[in-house]
Amino acid sequence: MKMLSTLPTPRSTLSRFSIPSTITTFTSHSQTLPQASLTTSPPHSQILSTRHSLLSRNLSAVDLVRSHLTRLRLTEPHLRSFLHLPDDQTLLTQAHDLDRRIANGEEVGPLAGVLVAVKDNICTSDMPSTGGSRILENYRPPFDATAVKRVKELGGIVVGKTNLDEFGMGSTTEASAFQVTANPWDVSRVPGGSSGGSAAAVSARQCVVSLGSDTGGSVRQPASFCGVVGLKPTYGRVSRFGLMAYASSLDAIGCFGSSVADTGILLHAIAGHDRFDATSSKQEVPNFLSHFDSTSSLESKPLKGLRVGLIRETIEDGVDAGVVSTIRAAASHFEELGCSVNEVSLPSFSLGLPAYYILALSESSSNLSRYDGIRYGNQVYADELDSLYGDSRAKGLGSEVKMRILMGTYALSAGYYDAYYKRAQQVRTIIRNSFKEALDQYDILISPAAPSAAYKIGEKKNDPLAMYAGDIMTVNVNLAGLPALVLPCGFIENGTAGLPVGLQMIGAAFDEERPQSFINTCKMGELLRVGHIFEQTLENGRFVPPIVADSVE
Amino acid sequence: MSYTILKTFQFHPLLLHPTSILKRRNRFLYSTTTKATQTKVPTSTQSKKLDKIPKDYEAVIGIETHVQLSTFTKAFCNCPYNYGSFPNSSICPVCMGLPGALPVLNSKVIEFAVKLGLALNCNLAFDSKFDRKQYFYPDLPKGYQISQFDVPIAASGFLDVDIPLEFGGGHKRFGITRVHIEEDAGKLMHTENGNFSQVDLNRAGVPLLEIVSEPDMRNGIEASEYAAELQRLVRYLGVGNGNMQEGSLRCDVNVSVRPIGQEKFGTKVEVKNLNSFASMSRAIDFEISRQVQLHSQGQEDQIVQETRLWEEGSQRTITMRKKEGLADYRYFPEPDLPSVILSQEYVDAIQNCLPELPEEKRRRYEKMGLGMQDVLFLANDKNIAEFFDATLAKGADAKLVANWIMSDIAAFMKNEKLTINDIKLTPEELSELIGSIKGGIISGKIGKEILFELLAKGGSVKEIIEKKDLVQIADPVEIEKMVDKVIAENPKQVEQYRGGKTKLQGFFAGQVMKVSKGKANPGLLNKILLEKLNSKS
């Protein structure tokens, strides 16, 4: 491909995946695992159990907030997940209010007392929203993002704004202009990114659930690195209003939780059409909460008949061997649950990475033009307009952001547009079609969420191409606009605790054309149902990092 | 001399402005002023050159027009827009380009664009989209303008124009290249001492239609008539107020000159800052003569692609910026907005609701037998045309109505500085008045008196006639009595008349009319009077 040849080869990654000509299926590589025992306690829904405790008055919201603040004090100095924390009193006041309403027998929302962390590129009217950038240091939006508004309306308590790679541009959270966040499983490692703060906060139980954003894997990869559940909904399922745009056609607000149920409950709260986002879907949000009922009712083969496709290109050379074996074990678990598992080839898979970077960077070069120092944010004084622009942006934006703006500007320039942007759009169509074809044959597709487990802080800082290559597992899903769920499915050996490995489950998008179709309205619910059953039946399915293991029952 | 020229220029705007009053008796006056405008451009050398244009050189003119749409809210947010409101009083996160804000299309914008597209005889794009045009400027909050690039909502149309008689008359058809939707930018307000500038974003995000013409115009008059017709269309359709002073209608013209017979276009120059049709016409004529002069002196290489500014004070164009290659706006499809899909039903519904357009109106008036002067006067102003049509609908004769409107009503409006919507006279009463005169109920003279009362105070013709007892006296016996009275009271004049001084007939008629308080039927009066005066001789 000419487009590929004009780019410097990002080491082996782009050529790593061969391009077979057709989609072929293989019988599953069936590795026998010991029969999963259901004796280890699976993760339960913190949201549901907390709600039960609150409503039955076994627990007060004030106590809940107090214990949260205690844990935060212990963990935050090591992790640095948050860019902004409200003062204790603000949270306690909200808790008091909730306790009073429960005492009065008033109706409380489904997220009442749920402690929610919010990625700092999602606008909150009562807290700063910087997007992890100096240029928006101390910026306070005059409005709540629609997702935040819905969380608040349903009773959720926002406990702070989480760290991220500046404007979502990065895969480690090291590109934050303010601080580096550590991985709760090993503080010498990155939490992933760009939603590293939100993932680490859930992992270390600094909150119950959190909001992140996913443009090319920014929810799923950190979920994998931090051993939590991460959900990237179908494009358009959640309003982007209030999310600082990185690449508008790929951006999605996503959810983190320590169980599929919690993640699904948060999604249910924020999903739905929003008249402030023209790209948000008018599809009704189906009620999929009933899927999270207790597991005791599960049959021996609860997923009988489900067709699972393991994307072959994601378990080939270049992917960490430990990751591959964990994913194969997960595939076996699916078989034990009654699924048929086959390998499926997506020939266009390796095209996703360069196409993604061209489109995302092109759009970002445009989306970040508004940070010019004129109306808000940090302005550098200058005698001339051009210097005002230049100096404000030079000082306010970080080097990763500048590099991406430059590359995106280049790709959109006259004479290059056809070779880059237009070409990448064509690739996007090919990818979308190939996923559609595969999802006609399979109910879900599975893959690792990242080619490796969490790596060391600083390890890829000076090798952006290596970091970009790490997005290979996730970017295609954004290009195709599909929903995907990442949940921890095992460990890679690393010292005492091991590092979690995330399994990515990709579902079909809802069909805009046929809103009444039963199959389509249940796509997202189906993904969550499968994830929930997988999680509840997985041996050693509890993923609590050592840093908080003592305090989590 | 310079004073006269100045006066001419000041008068000129009235000629082209559709709401201006053209009175018949002015016709001679302003055809001469027109001649003055065309020839007496500031320096005398230029006026000579101008005379040479038709012979050796041909000007090629294309126009880009921005029409602000009068939707209640802006194109992509819920902010209202009112010209002249306090700076930054009508803004929100969306039109300020705050982080996280997203545009949502106002569907009225599409409706208005389709209306104008159809009215301009364009092909509509049933599947169009928005694109981002990117550049940095403080009045552009997002760093890009939402516009339409490669798929404009309408393209390949034309606009028919009737050139006024005083400019040579004739019917012209000018091609329309494209019509696309975009958002307006804010305004920069520069301080006096130049230390800093301020930004007013009230206008940011206001919907615009950009209409690009084919390079079909050949002189200033054609260009300004094209623009005036566009303004008329916008007003007829109700999609904008078309007010040039407020910037609701903005024209940038591209002017080039080539020797007659040469196929290749000359280097084009863009002229901006044209705040009226008159300045547009003059700016173009100035620019043509400037370029022709350079050509004729063998200095055509000094005509460079640039943007020039029309200076109203000195009546000339000056260089604003020279273009160093084409700006790269890095257009790409706007990912925040879905594509715009039109259904045939939607377009048909709009087509069926289109009002009668100026061109159709002019042709209809022409078929009624009205002269072009009348046709243009009536059709140029939508409100006058509506008044005219409403009067016709009540059964009045077209030519008579046109006469009344163009003479006394127009004069009244001009003197009182009123528009046709401000006057108290209704089309019903004008029709009644004309009918009353035609039916002999009142005399033409009384009719005029009633007209002025109706114009100023309103009321009904019947009421006024009744109240003031103005019904025409058409009874020969009654008139005969009055004639007898006048003859009896003026024996001296009767003698003189009968002695051959027949001119005195007018005197007698006047006296009788006076006795009748103006109500006597003039025909009957004269007939009886003559009989009486002559019979006893």
The predicted structure's pLDDT at residue B54: 54
- Say which range, A13-27, A463-477, B203-217, B303-317, has the weakest mean pLDDT: A13-27
Range of weakest confidence among A261-265, A383-387, B320-324: B320-324
A194: cis peptide before it, omega within 30°? yes
**A389 vs A42, A135, A380, B326, B533, CA distance in Å?**
54, 12, 8, 22, 96
- Partners of residue A143 in chain B, C-beta under 8 Å: 93, 98, 100
Cβ of A242 under 8 Å from any chain B Cβ?
A: yes
Residue A114 lies in a domain: yes
Q: How many domains does chain A have?
A: 1
Chain B residues with CB inside 8 Å of A374's CB? 138, 141, 199
Distance, in angstroms, between A115 CA and closest chain B CA?
A: 23
Contact B38, B278 (CB under 8 A): no
- pLDDT the model gives residue B56: 86
Inter-chain residue contact B332 with A278, CB threshold 8 Å: no
Region A233-245: mean pLDDT is: 97
Query: Distance between CA A361 and CA A368 in Å, rounded?
Result: 10
Task: For residue A7, name the pLDDT band (cuts at 50, 70, 90).
Answer: very low
Question: For B302-311, what is the mean pLDDT?
Answer: 92
* Angle formed at CA A346 by CA A341 and CA A352, multiple of 5 degrees: 130
Does the pLDDT of residue A463 top 50, yes or no? yes
Q: Do B336 and A421 touch (CB under 8 A)?
A: no
Which of A142, A248, A372 shows the shortest C-beta gap to B143? A372
Question: Would you give the DSSP letter of residue B501?
Answer: -
Q: Give A393→chain B minimum CA distance, Å.
A: 12
**What CATH number does residue A273 fall under?**
3.90.1300.10
Residue ranges of E strands in A259-300: none
CATH 1.10.10.410 domain extents, chain B: 476-535
A420 token code pair: 């880059």
Domain ranges, residue A282: 13-19+25-46+77-88+107-355+425-549
Band of the pLDDT at A29, cuts 50, 70, 90? very low
Please answer yes or no on whether A242 and B104 come within 8 Å at the CB atom. Answer: no
- Asked if residue A511 has pLDDT above 70, the reply is no
Nearest to B142 among A122, A241, A370 (CB): A370
% of chain A exceeding 90 in pLDDT? 78
pLDDT band with cut points at 50, 70 and 90 for residue A496: low
Q: Name the more confident of A523 and A368.
A: A368
Q: Which of residues 395-434 of A touch B (CB under 8 A)?
A: 409, 412-414, 417, 421
Average pLDDT of B472-487?
Answer: 87
| CA neighbor of A477 nearest in space, from A217, A302, A285, A231 | A217
Q: Which of B102, B144, B331 sits opposite A276 (nearest CB)?
A: B102
Over the stretch B379-403, which tens digit does the pLDDT of each residue have?
999 999 999 999 999 988 999 999 9
Please report whether residue A504 resides in a domain.
yes
Position B44 scores a pLDDT of 38
Residues of A designated as active site: 119, 194, 218
User: Which of these, B247, B225, B220, lies nearest to B358 by C-alpha position?
Assistant: B225
A98 DSSP assignment: H
pLDDT digits (tens, 9 = 90+) for B463-473: 888 777 777 78
Structural tokens at position A88: 């204790």
Nearest CA distance, B122 vs chain A (angstrom)? 28
Model confidence at A461, pLDDT cuts 50, 70, 90, reads confident
Judged by DSSP in three states, B66 sits in strand
- For all residues of chain A together, what is the average pLDDT? 89
Residues of chain A positioned with their CB less than 8 A from the CB of B337: 278-279
Which residues 98-137 of A are in CB contact (within 8 Å) with B? 122-123, 129, 131, 136
Q: Residue A144: what pLDDT?
A: 98
Residue in chain A nearest B198 by alpha carbon = A374
Chain A hits for B104, Cβ within 8 Å: 275-278
Phi-psi group of B517: left, alpha or beta (phi > 0 → left; psi -120 to 50 → alpha; rest → beta): left
> For A33-82, what is each residue's pLDDT tens digit?
333 333 357 788 999 999 999 999 999 999 999 999 999 999 999 999 99
Residue A174 has pLDDT above 80, yes or no: yes
Contacts of B176 (CB under 8 A, 6+ apart): B120, B121, B122, B155, B156, B157, B158, B159, B211, B212, B213, B214
B342-366 residue pLDDT tens: 999 999 999 999 999 999 999 999 9
> DSSP secondary structure string, B383-406?
HHHHHHHHHHHTT--HHHHHHHII
pLDDT at A398 over 80: yes
Mean pLDDT (whole number) for B70-92: 96
With an 8 Å Cβ cutoff, are B330 and A409 in contact?
Answer: yes
| Mutation target among A279, A375, A383, A478 for the B interface, most CBs of B within 10 A | A375
Q: Which residues pair with B64 in a beta bridge?
A: B212, B252
For chains A and B, CB pairs below 8 A equal 103
Is the Cβ–Cβ distance between A140 and A148 less than 8 Å?
A: no
| Closest to A131 in 3D by CA, of A213, A241, A248, A233 | A213
Task: Identify the pLDDT of residue B26.
Answer: 35
Q: Is A375 part of any domain?
A: no
CATH fold of B476-535, please?
Arc Repressor Mutant, subunit A (1.10.10)
Choice among A399-403, A457-461, B281-285, B522-526 with the minimum mean pLDDT:
B522-526
Rounded CA-CA distance A207/B215 in Å is 65
3-state DSSP assignment of residue A189: strand
Q: Considering the domain boundaries, does residue A540 fall inside one?
A: yes
pLDDT, residue B33, reads 28
Reading the block at residue A395, the tokens are: 């000082």
Q: Hey, which residues does B402 pair with through a beta bridge?
A: none
